Each structure stands twice: as structure tokens, then as C-alpha cells.
Amino acid sequence: MLTLLKLLKDGRFHSGQALGAGLGISRSAVWKQLQHLEAELGLSVHKVRGRGYQLARPLSLLDAAEICAKEGLAWPVYIHDSIDSTNAEALRSIERGAEAPFLVLAERQTAGRGRRGRKWVSPFADNLYYSLVLRIDGGMRQIEGLSLVVGLAVMHALRDFGITRAGLKWPNDVLVGDKKIAGILLELVGDPADVCHVVLGVGINVNMQSTDEVDQQWTSMNLEAGRVFDRNDLVAHMSTKLQQYLELHRASGFAAIQLEWEKYHLWQGRAVSLIAGVNQVDGVVMGIDRQGALRLKVDGVERFFSGGELSLRLRDDS
């Protein structure tokens, strides 16, 4: 089925006879595979008598060799056509003894997830589902503010591709205005006081144009810029940005990045509600501290908050 998809990915018409010849199957078998493409991958195929079959729009499929060649990426790159989630596969690879660093990508996720167990919508070949595995030596200082570091690198990559209004929301989101365009999910295994592995999971809405499955405001690179993006270019460039910021973080700690992160935080000075389970704290965002914790002014007093299960929301009076 995926071999058929590669023949159709240019978005041009291909006759059933030509497709059958390319695959070594009958025209009726081509028809059956096309039905599977639509049913299993959610792709739309135009069928015109006398012209053949055409994808509703061209697809840019991920290619490991192309990614590594673009900006000299040295990490091994593993691409899956369909998987539960790239983070889950990355964690399984660690258990199997895979040597970090390495990168896991997928054309589609069947069980993609964000922070706090939320579903991450993952249509086939539309967006970026990216998990980078790093080995961390030397204890907790190496992971202080790490999710914020990743967010800053992702934001700069998006801006380099023309998404100039991209900004940050503490702790793990990249927004355009009030609409989410990317999210970050970090998962840690091992001993954080000694040697551990961290999975840097990044989801970016790249070419997605519509969906009924997202329960919050969202946008995509395509919607913002009005054009289709090559995800191989994005993977290569974002990986370069990540390398740069991870090296800065490793050498100098999060304090070296704190002021730059605050510069791009879209909710600086805004009235927010911080939600932790059934508890809610209302305050005004003052910034972040040298470890990446959120600084809130609550009833005139500065308080600090950190942790993976916190959620930040704008208040109506912001």
C-alpha cells in the first residue's frame, strides 16, 4: 500500500494500468489498495474516468538519507510509516539497548499524546512527530529547564521558516497568537541523580489544514504561511537548532537561556490561572527563574511553580 502511495505522492494523475504495471498487480488490486489508502490513512483520492487516480494534494514523505544530508545531521534517524507514538517507540528502543543519541520519526501516530495524557492528533504525512533520545550524565542540573530549551529551539526553527509570530507559552507550548502550533513532551527513564535517558518529544502542526479532533485553538505552518512545507527540511533545521541550544544548556545551564526565553514568552505580564489537579492559583506572570520555574505574582507576593502536571490558562480579564 505504501509503495502505491509513493507512486501517487506527486499529486498528478496516474492511470490504473500504469500503477498496476509499477506494482506488478492487476488494476482491480490497485483499486483495492486505493480503498485501503482512503480508509486506513484518511487520504483523499480523486478518481476521474480516462485520467486515472490522483491524491487530493501532493505528499512529502520523510526520508532519513535526505534529512541527514541536508545539514550534516549525525544522529541515526529511524522512520516509521505508522506507530502508536514516537515517544513510546523511543522508550522501547532504550529498553532494547539502543545507543543514544538517536531520532525517531513517524508519518502517522495511532496513539499520539501530549502533556497530561492529552491526545495529539496525528494525520498521515501532514505534521511532524519527532522524538530525540539523549543520554544524560551528571545528575539533575543537566535537565533543569530542558523542556523550555527545546521549546526555544523549536520556536526559532519555525521563525526561520517564516512563521514570524511564533512565540512561547510556559512550560511546553509554541503558539502563534493564542493558537497552538507545537507542543513538547519530555519523558525521563533511569536515575536522574546519575545516568538516565530523556526523550524529547516534539509535535508540530505542519501541513494540516482541518480537523474535528482538536479541543483547543490551533494553527499550522501551512495555515499561517499559505504554502506546503517539506518536513525533511524542517526536521533537519530543527535538529540543528536543538543541537545548538542543547550544547549551550549543557555548557552553561538554563540560566544562560533564561532571558532569551522570557523575551519570547507571549504571556509575560498577563493574568493567568495555574491549574494543578483540582487546585487553581490566580496571578500575573512575572517570568521564569534560573531553573525554568514559573514566577507568578499572587495577591502581591511572588511565588514559584514547577512540575509536569501544571497547566496554565489565560484569565478572562487578561
Is residue 280 part of an annotated ligand binding site?
no
**Residue corresponding to grid cell 500575573:** 284
Instruction: Select from 102, 84, 85, 106 the least CA-distant residue to 94.
Output: 102
Task: Confirm whether 227 is a catalytic residue.
Answer: no
Clarify whether 231 is annotated catalytic. Answer: no
What is the secondary structure of 259-288 as a DSSP string? HHHHHTBTTTT-EEEEEETTEEEEEEEEEE
> Contact 8/56 with Cβ under 8 angstroms?
no
- Given 70, 108, 169, 180, the catalytic residue: 180
Residues paired with residue 185 on neighbouring β-strands, in sequence order: 201
Q: Is 17 marked within a binding site?
A: no
Is 115 considered catalytic here?
yes
Tell how strand 102-106 and strand 301-305 pair up. unpaired
Cα–Cα nearest to 173, from 220, 114, 257, 231: 114
Q: Give the torsion sign (CA, 105, 108, 110, 115).
A: positive
Report which residue type is found at 41: L
CA distance 65 to 67: 5
87 marked as part of a ligand binding site: yes
| Residue 86 is labelled as binding a ligand | yes
Q: Which of 18, 50, 54 is nearest to 34 (CA)?
A: 54
Q: Would you state the cell numbers that stand for residue 228, as one nine-digit string? A: 506546503
CA dihedral sign, ordered 154, 155, 160, 161:
positive
DSSP H or E run through 149: helix 146-160
Classified as helix, coil or strand, 257 is: coil
Determine which one of 108, 115, 169, 241 is catalytic: 115
32, 51, 227, 313: the active-site residue: 313
113 among annotated binding-site residues = yes
Is 180 labeled as ligand-binding? yes
Q: Residues at the annotated binding site for biotin?
A: 85-87, 109, 113-115, 180
Question: Per the annotation, where are the binding residues?
Answer: 85-87, 109, 113-115, 180
Query: Looking at the annotation, which residues are catalytic?
Result: 115, 180, 313
